[in-house]
């Protein structure tokens, strides 16, 4: 298994996240939480960025990133530019991680047991990609329902 397709898809989806954040018509819309919706677009974007900076950058890439998951869900009213900066950091983390795991056996155990003691690198990479794609879809939907005039 080559990791390159997973890297390409993660980077593609992160770029789409940035495009979605840029497509909000105001910072206020990014942070709105309409009735029946659990998270704002800003929260979704920060969560995706934090998740990848932690698991890709820190766990696989060896960076010193310290995740503050509570902040991802509780911070409010950042500008679109500030949220995009976090997404750009996630892009850097993903690229760095893939340079670090080049040549790694996809069936090697993932070096963190949060998802279970017997998860492989390949399984976790697939999980991280689907998690990103899932929240990207939520971000797209949130943007469309909050920016309709």
User: For 22-41, what is each residue's pLDDT tens digit?
Assistant: 999 999 999 999 999 999 99
| Res. 62: pLDDT tops 80 | yes
Stated pTM of the model? 0.94
The pLDDT of residue 44 is 98
Residue 118, judged by CB atoms within 10 A of its CB (0-12, 13-18, 19+), counts as exposed
Percent of the chain whose pLDDT exceeds 90:
89
- Domain 4-147: assigned CATH number: 1.20.120.450
Query: Per residue in 136-145, pLDDT tens?
Result: 999 999 999 9
What are the sequence ranges of the domains in the chain?
Answer: 4-147
Q: Measured between alpha carbons, how far is 48 from 66 in angstroms, rounded to an integer? A: 15
CB atoms within 10 A of CB 62: 12
The pLDDT of residue 148 is 79
């Amino acid at each position: 298994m080559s990791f390159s397709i997973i890297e390409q898809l993660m980077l593609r989806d992160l770029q789409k996240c940035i495009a979605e954040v840029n497509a909000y018509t105001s910072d206020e819309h990014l942070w709105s939480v309409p009735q029946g919706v659990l998270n704002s677009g800003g929260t979704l974007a920060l969560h995706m960025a934090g998740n990848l900076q932690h698991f890709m950058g820190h766990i696989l890439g060896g960076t010193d990133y310290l995740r503050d998951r509570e902040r991802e869900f509780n911070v409010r009213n950042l500008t679109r530019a500030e949220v995009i900066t976090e997404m750009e950091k996630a892009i850097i983390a993903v690229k760095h991680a893939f340079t670090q795991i080049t040549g790694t056996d996809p069936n090697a155990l993932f070096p963190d047991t949060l998802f279970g003691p017997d998860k492989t690198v390949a399984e976790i990479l697939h999980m991280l990609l689907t998690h990103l794609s899932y929240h990207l879809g939520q971000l797209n939907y949130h943007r469309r329902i909050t920016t309709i005039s």
